[in-house]
Amino acid sequence: MRSITKNIALAFALSALAPIAAAGTVTVVTSFPKDLTQAYKTAFEKQNPGITVEILNKNTVSGIAFVKETPAGKRPDVFWASAPDAFEVLSQDKLLSKISDIANPDVPNTIGSFPVNDPEGYFLGQALAGYGIMYNTRFTKAKKLDDPKTWSDLLKPEWFNNVGITSPSRSGTMHLTVETILQGEGWEKGWNTLLRMAGNSAALTDRSFGVPDGVNNGQFGAGPVIDFFGLSSKFSKFPVEFVYPEETAIVPANIALISESANPEEAKKFIQFTLSPEGQELLLLPQISRLPVLPYSNMQNIPEGYPDPLKIVERSTVKFDVNLSQSRYFIVQSLFDQTITFRHKELQAATKAILDAEKKLGDSPSAEAKARLDEAKQLAWMPLVDEKAVQEATLVDLFKADKKDPKVNQQLSKLQGEWNERAKIQYEKAEKLAKEAARL
């Protein structure tokens, strides 16, 4: 949450100085990588002489803050990102304009049971996104690791210090991955998975790009990523593979027109282009490798072996609830940061002690050793806040309140400090108990 507050403050400072974009310029706020944005910029400008596309690359959380704090009339024109709950946040704050009139009628209404376009018309699905595991085949072969197929594979002892992850407050796509696991496995088991995966991780990267980059170069053996990171690396001939676990979600990556922006008419043309057959086929370029919202029957040159989103949806056990995700958006981010991002060293030490104790004790530990080890696991790998508390109006309202209000800021800082300190105490106690169990 500290990073969110910092991003909002920085965005406010920058927005006060932001000039009004020149006529004929479409300013796009996006979390997407340059390989994707440059392809769209080049193709659109070629098709629309006289209109220039300006890309403002920001992670999703920073992008939301920037739009919120930029004055009306100076706002950027287009918001383009993978996380549907981010668009719900902007829509609720009345920062998006309706664009249902420029939707492509050939795009289906739903993917599985999930609406491709916002039913209220404030944002449109531009691509489809799934969440899964990217792994380096050379790494797994060299370390004699089984190729991971499920989230639980990354929790195994042999994967200790071989996983890379990032924080949902630094990456909208990681936020969706976290929510996918929480909704697919349930709150308690989902946090158990996240805490154990983080405990097995060698590092938490600063941006979502850090995980696929680390897997590509062999810094990490595997990590949770949005599909286009894994697929673009695979189709660009890196020694990697990408798999969709059964607990995955296929949801739209959206595009929207920001309300009271500088150049809305030019922005509408850009949005229409991204949804046209020409714009959708750009998603199939090897360096992009995203799933289009336009059916394959409306497109050409689908690469051999390219994933079929309909088949992925059919076998997925997750029915993603975007309203649930949006309602606890900042709570989940803050809880992750206070218990994982800022306490990763202690969590990793506790995890190692537990895994070492399990190995030493084998299948028949003494009753006393088992009791201490079970307590250590409870302290290290169970959520600090239960699901019922997360649904309480007092907590929900606190995280939705204006962070610039000194009273709100003070309450949040106090609560987050308490979470952080409790996590530290629990991890240190868990490490101690696991080591005692091992000695028994």
pTM tops 0.85: no
Q: Are 166 and 336 in contact (CB under 8 A)?
A: no
Average pLDDT over residues 217-221: 97
- For 393, counting Cβ atoms within 10 Å of its Cβ (0-12 exposed, 13-18 middle, 19+ buried), the class is exposed
407 pLDDT higher than 60: yes
pLDDT at 375 over 50: yes
DSSP assignment letter at 107: S
Residue among 54, 101, 88, 126 nearest 330 (CA): 88
Question: What is the average pLDDT value for the chain, to the nearest integer?
Answer: 91
Asked whether 282 and 40 are in contact (CB, 8 A), the reply is yes
pLDDT for position 300 = 83
pLDDT at 345 > cutoff 80: yes
347 CA to centre of own chain: 21
Q: Higher pLDDT residue, 86 or 352?
A: 352
User: Parallel, antiparallel, or unpaired: how do β-strands 124-129 and 291-292 relate?
Assistant: antiparallel
Query: Are 113 and 319 spatial neighbours (Cβ–Cβ below 8 Å)?
Result: yes
Is 112:248 a contact under the CB 8 Å cutoff? Answer: no
- Taking only the tens place, the pLDDT of each residue in 25-46 is 999 999 998 999 999 999 999 9
Binned at pLDDT 50, 70 and 90, residue 63 comes out as very high
Tell whether the model's pLDDT for residue 5 goes beyond 60.
Answer: no
- Statement: residue 6 has pLDDT above 60: no
pLDDT of residue 11: 44
Res. 16: pLDDT tops 60: no
Partners of 240 in beta bridges: 136
In the block, residue with structure tokens 């050409």? 300
pLDDT the model gives residue 23: 61
State the pLDDT at residue 326.
86
One-letter amino acid at 104 equals N
Instruction: Tell me how far apart the alpha carbons of residues 156 and 158 are, in angstroms, rounded to a whole number.
Output: 6
pLDDT of 13 > 70? The answer is: no
pLDDT band at 243 (very low <50, low <70, confident <90, very high): very high
Residues 80-91: what's their mean pLDDT? 89
Say if residues 177 and 169 touch (Cβ distance below 8 Å).
Answer: no
pLDDT at residue 314 in the model: 87
Q: What's 332-397 look like in SS3?
A: HHHHHHHHHHCCHHHHHHHHHHHHHHHHHHCCCCCHHHHHHHHHHHHHHHCCCCCHHHHCCHHHHH
Q: What is the mean pLDDT of residues 352-373?
A: 95
200 vs 231: which has the higher pLDDT? 200
| pLDDT higher than threshold 70 for residue 15 | no
pLDDT digits (tens, 9 = 90+) for 43-59: 999 999 999 999 999 98
**Residue 22: per-residue pLDDT:** 54
Decide if pLDDT at 195 tops 90. yes
* Single-letter amino acid, residue 331: I
10: pLDDT strictly greater than 60: no
Complete domains list, the chain, with CATH:
2-128+252-307 (3.40.190.10), 131-248+323-439 (3.40.190.10)
pLDDT for 12 beyond 60: no
pLDDT for residue 19 is more than 80: no
Query: What would the two tokens of residue 440 be?
Result: 């028994």
Dihedral over Cα of 114, 117, 118, 120: its sign = negative
